[in-house]
């Protein structure tokens, strides 16, 4: 009798996320980013990659794709989860180019600011 084949990597990630009670939406998002990371490195297995490849991927997201800082952080969280929980490897010294945080305009004016605007009318 042949021993059972080990589970595929993304199935292992799903199992780990469910075991830790992550939401289904988080599961979908993490799988998306891990798949993108693997495809970016020409389908190399993450076990044979490390900090240098993670840094390269995150820098690519910031520089070439110009993603928002929150998007880059989401990708980083997914990849760190993969390495820490599923592969049980630590990533040390990730030094990627960081995406620029978006700047939001205030949506509420202080009473003083409202008074100043009304005086200009």
Number of H helices, E strands in the chain: 5, 0
Query: Residue 6: its pLDDT value, please?
Result: 84
Tens digit of pLDDT for each residue in 18-73?
A: 999 999 999 999 999 999 999 999 999 999 999 999 999 999 999 999 999 999 99
Q: Which domains does the chain have, with CATH numbers?
A: 9-119 (1.10.150.130)
pLDDT at position 3 over 90: no
DSSP class of residue 104 equals P
Query: Residue 51: its pLDDT value, please?
Result: 93
DSSP character string of 19-47:
HTT--HHHHHHHHHHHHHHHHHTTT--GG
Per-chain mean pLDDT for the chain? 91
């Amino acid at each position: 009798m042949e021993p059972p084949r080990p589970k595929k990597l993304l199935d292992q990630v799903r199992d780990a996320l469910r075991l830790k009670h992550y939401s289904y939406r988080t599961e979908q998002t993490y799988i998306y980013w891990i798949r993108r990371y693997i495809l970016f490195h020409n389908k190399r297995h993450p076990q044979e990659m490390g900090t240098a490849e993670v840094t390269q991927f995150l820098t690519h997201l910031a520089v070439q794709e110009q993603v928002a800082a929150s998007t880059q952080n989401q990708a980083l969280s997914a990849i760190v989860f993969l390495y820490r929980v599923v592969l049980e490897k630590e990533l040390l010294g990730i030094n990627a180019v960081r995406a620029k945080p978006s700047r939001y305009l205030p949506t509420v004016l202080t009473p003083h600011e409202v008074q100043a605007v009304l005086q200009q009318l």
